[in-house]
């Protein structure tokens, strides 16, 4: 029986993945996460342990590895996406980059056999090419992209016959999760359409690669379970549909009209300073590992509509569903406390 440690397992993808793994495998799962964005949704299971700890604390991380005889680490923890990262660049760099090498080194020194790193496809920067592959030059345009990219060679330099490493560059994930996020493109637009009757599109011409959360979890399951020694050090793009933001909005509108008979959904296009635009090619992971994408953006929109209809998501415009809003609130409270201390 394998013992798996997931950093960031309380998040949007991690929480969905943990439920899947508990139901479909016999893995013992340790979630190592400070859980800035909440943890009430986590499951209760005899094969699941929760370490509410900070990945920047080397002693606590090593304890979690050694106490549970961990053989595989899946590293998901980060301050994710550009706007959220830029709220507190120092904290974000500390979490996303400064502690990364220690996580890898500690894992290797304590007999972990496999380390899977979730990078991001935004490391490519801006590109009009529809065929961006893993060997394309990296041109990160933000610190979030830059430090995600810089972690990749840090993992690769520690790899050997006894320590396997796999790097993936996922697209923007979409669809329903027990820990929802409504600061991701497909999810945002569906939320607006379903709950407000219109869709706000900022810019619209920017292209984004997309990835259904169930496909993301299926891939992680495969990477965790399969013997990947001969692919150690490899990097894989992971995404399916490359769509312009306006095209996503049109798909959302179409699904709600067809599935729920919601008419007259207005698409409101507004100016945007966000110039991020890129498309990726994911042929490599399909040909090399035999992975098959099964779901689409349409499936993600339908899943979200079902969740709304079934009342699985309440008060979807609450700050708790948006990482950037949660961190903004935390930062404001921190500043208020600082002012209070300075005065008194």
| pLDDT, tens only, 89-111 | 888 999 999 999 999 999 999 99
> What is the rounded distance in angstroms from the CA atom of residue 52 to the CA atom of residue 215?
27
Non-local (6+) Cβ contacts of 40 within 8 A are none
Q: In what order do the strands lie in the sheet with 235-238?
A: 48-51, 28-32, 3-7, 72-75, 114-118, 164-170, 235-238
Reduced to 3 states (helix: H, G, I; strand: E, B; else coil), residue 265 is: coil
Q: What is the mean pLDDT of the chain?
A: 93
Residues 72, 111: Cα–Cα separation, whole Å: 9
pTM of the predicted model, to two decimals? 0.94
pLDDT at site 5:
98
pLDDT value for 340: 39
What pLDDT is stored for residue 337 in this prediction?
Answer: 57
pLDDT in tens, 62-94: 999 999 999 999 999 998 876 777 778 888 999
Instruction: State the helix-helix crossing angle for 185-196 and 245-260, rounded to 10 degrees.
Output: 40
Per cent of the chain over pLDDT 90 is 81
- What residues of the chain score a pLDDT lower than 50? 338-344
CB distance 71 to 119 below 8 Å: no
Answer for the pair 219, 290: CB distance below 8 angstroms, yes or no: no
Instruction: Take residue 93 and report the two structure tokens written for it.
Output: 């760099």
Structure tokens at 174: 């979409």
Q: Which residue has the tokens 């700890």?
A: 53
CA distance 53 to 77: 11
Residues 136-153: tens digit of each pLDDT: 999 998 899 999 999 999
Copy the structure tokens of residue 217: 């979890």
Give the chain's domains with CATH numbers: 3-175+210-240+278-297 (3.40.50.720)
Cβ density class 302-318: b for 16+ within 10 Å, e for less: bbbbebbeeeebeebee
Q: How far apart are CA 278 and CA 237, in angstroms?
A: 12
- Is residue 323 classed as helix, strand or coil in its secondary structure? helix
pLDDT in tens, 256-283: 999 999 989 999 999 988 878 889 999 9
The CA dihedral of 180, 185, 186, 192, to the nearest 10 degrees, is 80
Task: List alpha helices for the chain, DSSP H.
Answer: 12-24, 58-67, 82-85, 89-93, 100-109, 143-156, 185-196, 213-225, 245-260, 283-289, 297-309, 323-343
Query: 276 with 314: CB under 8 angstroms?
Result: no
pLDDT of residue 335: 63
The separation between CA 252 and the C-alpha centre of its own chain, rounded to angstroms, equals 21
Give how far Cα 53 sits from Cα of 9, 161, 190, 286, 289, Å.
12, 30, 33, 35, 33
What is the rounded CA–CA span in Å between residue 37 and residue 223? 26
Chain-centre distance for alpha carbon 313? 19
Q: Does an H or E element contain 201, and which?
A: strand 198-202
Q: Which residue has the tokens 């660049």?
A: 89
Distance of alpha carbon 255 from alpha carbon 312, whole angstroms: 19
Over the Cα atoms of the chain, what is R_g? 20
Residue 90 three-state SS: helix
Q: On the CB side of 206, how many CA atoms lie within 13 Å of its CA?
A: 18
């Amino acid at each position: 029986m394998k013992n798996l440690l997931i950093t960031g397992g309380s998040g949007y993808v991690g929480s969905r993945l943990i439920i899947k793994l508990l139901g479909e495998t016999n893995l013992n799962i340790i979630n190592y996460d400070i859980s800035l964005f909440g943890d009430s949704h986590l499951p209760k299971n005899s094969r699941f342990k929760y370490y509410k700890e900070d990945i920047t604390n080397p002693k606590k991380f090593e304890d979690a590895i050694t106490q549970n005889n961990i053989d595989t680490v899946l590293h998901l923890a980060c301050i994710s996406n550009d706007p959220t990262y830029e709220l507190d660049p120092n904290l974000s760099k500390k979490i996303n980059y400064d502690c990364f090498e220690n996580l890898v080194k500690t894992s290797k020194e304590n007999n972990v056999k496999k380390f899977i790193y979730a990078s991001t496809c935004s490391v490519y920067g801006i590109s009009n090419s529809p065929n961006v592959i893993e060997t394309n030059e990296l041109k990160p345009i933000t610190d979030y992209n830059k430090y995600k990219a810089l972690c990749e060679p840090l993992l690769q330099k520690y790899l050997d016959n006894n320590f396997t490493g796999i790097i993936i560059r996922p697209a923007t994930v979409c669809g329903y999760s027990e820990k929802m996020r409504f600061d991701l493109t497909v999810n945002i637009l569906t939320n607006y359409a379903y709950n407000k009757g219109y869709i706000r599109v900022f810019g619209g011409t920017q292209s984004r690669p997309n990835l259904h959360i169930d496909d993301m979890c299926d891939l992680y399951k495969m990477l965790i379970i399969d013997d990947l020694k001969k692919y150690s050090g490899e990097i894989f793009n992971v995404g399916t549909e490359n769509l312009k933001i306006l095209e996503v909005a049109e798909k959302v509108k179409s699904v709600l009209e067809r599935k729920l008979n919601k008419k007259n959904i207005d698409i409101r296009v507004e100016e945007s300073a966000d110039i991020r635009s890129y498309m990726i090619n994911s042929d490599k992971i399909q040909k090399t590992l035999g992975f098959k994408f099964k779901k689409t953006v349409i499936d993600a929109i339908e899943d979200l509509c079902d969740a709304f209809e079934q009342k699985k998501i309440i008060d979807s415009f609450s700050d708790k569903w948006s990482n950037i809003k949660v961190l903004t609130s935390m930062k404001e409270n921190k500043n208020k406390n600082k002012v209070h201390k300075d005065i008194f």
